[in-house]
């Protein structure tokens, strides 16, 4: 902890090169859920129980196919969701949260609570700060 050089999350595959990582567990989690789309994907798959690619694409306005794929792959790699491919024509792929991801989602909801409790404080603080410039 407090080791410095904590890598931030990325949607691109992670080589794990950054030698001084993997030390603070908290940054580890944050790496997993950071990235512009991870939370949205996690939340939607969780809400649907089981989700298909195009369904996610439609459910998350603004996401590109590339980013959806990248985000899904990273979450799968980290064991947060499973990917099941049916070799039919047309193909069908199903995504589901793992139990670990469901527990994570629960913990994250506590963070959401914090955000709701303090959102006016944060907003006011920003206005103050920006005005004082």
Partner DNA sequence: CTGTATCCGAAAAGATACTG
Partner DNA sequence: CAGTATCTTTTCGGATACAG
Binding site for a copy of itself (CB under 8 A): 1-9, 20, 24-30, 32-37, 39-40, 43-44, 47, 59-63, 76-79, 100, 103-104, 107-119, 121-122, 124-126, 129-130
Q: What is the spatial distance between Cα 90 and Cα 59, in angstroms, rounded to a whole number?
A: 20
Strand ordering across the sheet containing 81-86 = 51-52, 92-97, 81-86
Compare residues 17 and 116 and give the one whose CB is closer to a copy of itself. Answer: 116
Q: Which of 64, 109, 119, 125 binds DNA (CB under 7 A)?
A: 64
Burial 44-73 (b: 16+ CB within 10 A, else e): bbbebeebebeebeebbeebeeebbebbbe
- Of DNA, a copy of itself, none, which one sits near residue 87, judging by CB under 5 to 8 A according to partner kind? none
Task: Provide the minimum distance between the beta carbon of 2 and a copy of itself in the complex, in angstroms, as a whole number.
Answer: 6
Q: Of residues 68-87, which lie at the interface with DNA (CB under 7 A)?
A: 69-70, 72-73, 83, 85
Q: What is the spatial distance between Cα 127 and Cα 23, in angstroms, rounded to a whole number?
A: 36
Instruction: Tell which residue, 75, 69, 71, has the closest CA to residue 101.
Output: 75
Instruction: Tell which residue, 7, 4, 102, 9, has the closest CA to residue 47.
Output: 102
Stretch that binds DNA, among 49-57, 96-104, 106-114, 118-126 (CB under 7 A): 49-57
Write out the residues near DNA by the rule CB under 7 A.
Answer: 5, 8-12, 17, 34-37, 52-55, 62-67, 69-70, 72-73, 83, 85, 90-93
């Amino acid at each position: 902890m407090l080791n410095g050089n904590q890598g931030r999350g990325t949607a691109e595959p992670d080589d794990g090169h950054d030698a001084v990582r993997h030390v603070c567990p908290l940054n580890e989690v944050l790496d997993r859920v950071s990235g512009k789309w991870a939370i949205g994907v996690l939340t939607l798959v969780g809400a649907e129980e089981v989700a298909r690619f195009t369904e996610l694409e439609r459910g998350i306005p603004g996401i590109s196919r590339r980013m959806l794929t990248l985000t899904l792959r990273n979450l799968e790699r980290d064991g947060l969701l499973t990917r099941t491919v049916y070799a039919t024509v047309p193909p069908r792929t199903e995504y589901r949260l793992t139990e670990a991801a469901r527990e994570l989602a629960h913990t994250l909801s506590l963070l959401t609570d914090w955000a709701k409790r303090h959102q006016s404080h944060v907003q006011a603080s920003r206005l103050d700060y920006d005005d004082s410039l």
